[in-house]
A and B are shown apart, each in its own frame.
Chain A
Amino acid sequence: MFKLILRNSLRHRLRTALTILGMAIAILSFGLLRTVVDAWYAGVEGAAADRLVTRNAISLIFRLPLAYLNKIKAIPGIKRVAYGYWFGGVYIDEKNFFPQFAVELQNYLDIYSEFVIAPEQRQALLKERNACVAGRKLAQRFGWRLGDIITLRGTVFPGNWELVLRAIYQGAEETTDETRFFFHWDYVNETLVKNTPAIANQVGWFISQVEDIDRAPLIAAQIDDTFRNSLAETLTESEKAFQMGFVSMTKAIVVAIQIVSYVVIAIILIVLANTMAMTARERQEEHAVLKTLGFQGRHLVVLIAGESVAIALMGGVVGLIALFPAAHYFRTALGNYFRVFNVSDQTLLICLVIALMVGLVSAIFPAWRAARLSIAEGLRRIG
């Protein structure tokens, strides 16, 4: 039986090869798209639980006065507070996108201990007003060396901003984002005080490190209470929740990617189902002969489903084998956007299960027809 399934599937070598190739490409795309989505959410996973982010309650777009700093610091249980905003400048060209933050560096680097910087670099960074620090991967991407001048064209904050690279940080863990870019909030603010005082002395968010993780929700509520009924009310949440908010801004894209990945599977399902229906129709007479010999509907179902599943799984396995080099390529090409880009075991498993399901579902209709086929009909030579 097994031999027959195998030989049957090799009967139309070209057709089978093309179907397997199609299946492989579908599984490859599906696996890649899933990995992209995984990478997206990995940003959230990296968030530490002892960090609270305080932002304007109305929206991320609105800022908070710097004056809140001392009030937050005064709340018991808070170890450190840093602040800053998203700078959003352009480096030479729009396509060179990377995340840039103007922050109060001293406390920020203490809170983000996973960004590891050599002591002498850290010193130089903190001393100079227009110094900046980049992640290792980011520096690699643009070939930056310590002492290089990096000019950002401001979008939110107009003008050209000249920065000197004084430090390169390394991630403490494999999942640490090494593509970020930081410089002094003070440097930006000085200029704003001079040119546009109306928007000076403001921050996008405060980030507080709490002493006791268990009390984090309590402290968050306390911060928000402090600023209730003031001009700018605050919303404080764990860093994880905050990142999730960030991610959900692009959620529509993620959903679109997911839909596309399922569409790909639907297409290959239709292709394989069509191939199997065609194959079964061609073998109608043969199926009738097998029935004459005493084979029953269920035997034919096994024969057809077995062939379908064999083709689908072969395609699936080929696709998964190709997934690793493809993911590697993605990682090198897009590593700047995603900090982790790894094919998870779960993705592998889901891909295999999907290949199996596609194989089974494709066989339903032809198997059902073969099982019901009347021998007399099947034996009659048509044309």
Chain B
Amino acid sequence: MATGEAPPILVAIDNLTKSYRRGSQIIPVLQHVCLNIQAGEFLALMGPSGSGKTTLLNLIAGIDHPDEGTLRIAGVDISRLSESELAIWRHRNVGFIFQFYNLVPVLTALENVELPLMLSELPRRERRAHAELALRLVGIADRQDHYPRQLSGGQQQRVAIARAIVTDPVIIAADEPTGDLDKVSAQEVLDLLTRLNQEMGKTIIMVTHDPRAAERASRLQHLDKGVLNACAAGG
């Protein structure tokens, strides 16, 4: 992306609106959300349950379509991309970390990490090398042949982080990555995310309920009942 004196804005959200339809009822979730995220930021998104944090994160990660507003990421308005363009875009630009790890149970740790690379044209050997490197980065290389059910929650989450970074994405989106972990494991995961942010320059957007997790972030945003306006405040 473009280089500049001030850190460039990576994610530019303007007037973003999203509502869900349940039967005949329309549930407004996000209302005219405005938010800019700079490249290299570690943003924590907090707010009460049901306030629309997951929805916003999904929109940024290109998992869901907004109803209204623009969503520019590295200059690309992803709300205009078609379904398959968006899939390719996601594959190249976003690494997603889920609260419940969501590893494929029938694949080993290494195979799980290799999974996103199956979509690339990399030869088998290189895919393997990439996956091994990612596992080493998250400090779990010794467990590469274990299946998810043979790993603890913290270990599974580290494998999931390896899977998220193996394609070397620009953005890492994490939805309550420590929500299902004990204190120690949560700390380890947060350490890892901090390192990814500081040493590798990944932009991280993390939804969390945990104030201790939010402390690690470089910036904190609150979402309340789908309302967030951070543009006027400058960011």
Contact = CB atoms under 8 A, between A and B. Distances in A.
A10 B147 CA distance: 15
Contacts of B64: 374-376
A195 to B, nearest CB: 82
Interface stretch (B32-40, B85-93, B221-229): B85-93
A158 interface: no
B102 A289 contact: yes
B61 to A, nearest CB: 7
Interface in B81-110: 83-84, 87-88, 90-92, 96, 98, 100, 102, 104-107
Contacts of B55: 376
A285 B100 CA distance: 11
Contacts of A299: 119
B137 interface: no
Contacts of A374: 64
Contacts of B153: none
B176 to A, nearest CB: 12
A285 B98 CA distance: 11
Contacts of B104: 4, 286, 289-290
Contacts of B116: 293-294
Nearest to B88: A294
Contacts of A375: 58, 63-64
Nearest to B55: A376
A222 to B, nearest CB: 75
B111 interface: yes
A100 interface: no
A297 B63 CA distance: 14
A292 interface: yes
A11 interface: yes
Nearest to A298: B84
Contacts of A228: none
A295 B119 contact: yes
A296 interface: yes
Contacts of B88: 294
Interface string B102-132: 1011110001000110110000000000000
B163 interface: yes
B106 A292 contact: no
A95 interface: no
A8 B106 contact: yes
A7 interface: yes
Given A1-B118, A375-B64, A376-B64, A293 B106 contact: no
Interface string A1-24: 101100110110000000000000
Given A291-B87, A296-B84, A375-B58, A4 B96 contact: no
A7 B106 contact: yes
A92 interface: no
A150 interface: no
Nearest to B106: A7
A290 B115 CA distance: 9
Contacts of B119: 293-295, 299
Nearest to B87: A296
A293 B163 contact: yes
Contact of A294 (B91, B106, B111): B91
Contacts of B163: 293
Contact of B106 (A11, A290, A376, A381): A11
Given A1-B118, A286-B102, A376-B58, A292 B107 contact: no
A379 interface: yes
Given A292-B63, A293-B115, A7 B107 contact: yes
Interface string A351-376: 00000000000000000000000111
Interface of A: 1, 3-4, 7-8, 10-11, 285-286, 289-297, 299, 374-376, 379, 381
9 contacts: A10-B106, A289-B98, A292-B63, A293-B91, A294-B90, A295-B87, A297-B84, A375-B58, A381-B100
Interface of B: 55, 58, 61, 63-64, 83-84, 87-88, 90-92, 96, 98, 100, 102, 104-107, 111, 115-116, 118-119, 163, 167
Given A289-B98, A294-B90, 18 more contacts: A11-B105, A11-B106, A285-B102, A289-B104, A290-B104, A291-B87, A293-B90, A293-B96, A294-B92, A296-B83, A296-B87, A297-B84, A374-B64, A375-B63, A375-B64, A376-B64, A379-B63, A381-B100
